[in-house]
Amino acid sequence: MSIEIISVIVLFVSFFGLLVYGVPVAYSIGISTTLTLILNIIFMPSITTVAQRMTTGIDNFALLAIPFFILAGELMNRGGIATRLIDFAKSLIGSLPGGLAFVNIISAMLFGAISGSAIAAASAIGSTLTDKMESEGYPREFSAAVNISASTTGLLIPPSNVLIIFALASGGTASVAALFVAGYIPGILVGLAIMIMVYIYAKRNGLPRADRVNFKKLFIDFKNAILSLTLLIIVVGGIVAGIFTATEAAAIAVVYAALLGFLNRGLKVSDFKPILLKSAKTTAIVMFLIATSMAMSWLFSFEGIPQLLTATILDNFSNPILIFLIINIVLLIVGTFMDITPAVLIFTPIFLPVAIALGMHPVQFGMIIVLNLCIGICTPPVGTLLFVGSGVAKVSVTKVIKPLLPLLGVMVLVLMLITYFPDLSLWLPRVFDLID
């Protein structure tokens, strides 16, 4: 057995073994990478190599957008934006059967898109709506399930930190601007699919509907929410138009969110210390994950794992439909036990060459891997969003699973549509001349 094969075995066995043992993902990645490099005498001392690759991996201007978007999300969470979006959504669609559930979905989509964070959306919308939904006859576990599934749309609808990370992991084959524009249709499709399931559930169970509001009330709520919604136009429009980069857009989002928070009287100067501390902690976690994942990605390239996997798949399977189905199944399984950031960084270099070899555009693959992992963060055993959403709703995870399953089912259906109908991901970027 060659040293290359032994290295691959050591890498994967040590990595998954550490995960099963309960070691945090970032440490598991770093330790397994170091152990694998120890086998290669050429690279001794291995720790130096790992440190170098971690440092160079995060030495990227585009990654500066991540701490800015994290900070902007925290400012929005504290600045009263969620309440204004909920009021607007309630006026818009609250009169439908199961109206508050629809309000939950629309609000999570809007807040998730503005903040770029599924966790922030689940926390802000769930903490505001869950008690109100229960008081009007909605099962608490159903409210949590709707909030959890709808919050994932914020990872597809720009601005999204995960799409920036995928752009980095793709090695420049997919631009941030193209990914941002491509995310709209998949994100909206996920939201619409969840709405359809909620409508069916509402009709079967006789869930209440709110009174229809008059045009004046709708206009007032829209006016209160318009400044929050304008942030999407400024950030994404500015990037697409070439006025500024994603990093510059993120910095503008911070300034805009702070000014809007003061304007809404939801922010005080004393709020900045806890906001900055929480943002710094979140940024540190994300950047450490990226650093260790980039070291492992480099090791993949050195060992020739992507090329080996591509050749193996193409030699043993000839049907692209079957190959993409296998890739989706693997990513769905991966998503159940690995957080979205390291999963994107680790598995993009592995599966992207296969997808490109089969004629898939990198932007379309970006939508596929992100939606796969969005489903994963809603499922146990790791399921970050599942635990956050359940915690906010104050209901056990086991109770949330049953109402969540049909919603995850329609998300998988949307995933299949995006996989086998490329225009769902590529039409908008082509309209804006962002891809060929």
- Residue pLDDT tens, the chain, 436 long: 566 677 778 888 888 888 778 788 788 888 888 888 777 655 455 567 777 888 887 777 777 888 888 888 788 777 777 778 777 877 877 677 778 888 888 888 887 777 777 877 888 788 778 888 888 788 899 999 999 999 999 889 888 888 988 998 898 889 988 999 999 999 999 999 999 999 898 888 887 776 777 778 788 888 888 887 787 788 878 877 778 887 888 888 888 888 888 887 778 888 889 989 988 888 888 888 788 878 887 777 777 777 777 777 777 888 889 999 999 998 888 888 777 888 888 889 889 988 998 999 999 999 999 999 999 889 876 677 888 888 888 888 889 999 999 999 999 999 999 999 999 999 999 998 888 7
Distance (Å, rounded) from C-alpha 362 to C-alpha 312? 20
* pLDDT for 46: 56
* pLDDT for 400: 92
Look at residues 274, 298, 342 and name the one whose alpha carbon lies nearest to residue 19. Answer: 342
Can you tell me which residue has the tokens 């689940």? 122
Q: How many CB atoms lie within 10 A of CB 235?
A: 26
Are 174 and 132 a contacting pair, CB within 8 Å? Answer: no
Q: Which whole-number Å values give the CA distances from 80 to 131, 224, 281, 414, in the listed order?
A: 18, 11, 22, 32
DSSP 175: -
Distance (Å, rounded) from C-alpha 31 to C-alpha 12? 11
273: its two tokens: 């210390």
Look at residues 191, 164, 192, 162 and name the one whose alpha carbon lies nearest to residue 178. Answer: 164
The number of CA neighbours under 13 Å toward the Cβ of 365 is: 27
Distance (Å, rounded) from C-alpha 409 to C-alpha 426? 24
* Alpha helices per DSSP H over 136-245: 140-151, 161-169, 176-182, 184-205, 215-240
Can you tell me which residue has the tokens 């752009």? 167
Distance (Å, rounded) from C-alpha 142 to C-alpha 162? 27
Q: Would you say the C-alpha torsion 380, 386, 387, 391 has a positive or negative sign? A: negative
* pLDDT for 40: 67
Look at residues 291, 294, 293, 308 and name the one whose alpha carbon lies nearest to residue 7. Answer: 308
* pLDDT for 238: 83
Can you tell me which residue has the tokens 């903490």? 127
Are 161 and 382 a contacting pair, CB within 8 Å? Answer: no
285: its two tokens: 């976690």
Peptide bond into 362 cis (omega under 30): no
Can you tell me which residue has the tokens 């170091």? 34
Domain boundaries, the chain: 58-431
Query: What element of type H or E holds 155?
Result: none
Task: Answer yes or no: pTM beyond 0.75.
Answer: yes
Residues with Cβ within 8 Å of residue 247, at least 6 apart in sequence = 61, 62, 64, 65, 68
DSSP 434: S
Distance (Å, rounded) from C-alpha 340 to C-alpha 373? 6
* pLDDT for 361: 95
Are 175 and 187 a contacting pair, CB within 8 Å? Answer: no
Are 380 and 397 a contacting pair, CB within 8 Å? Answer: yes
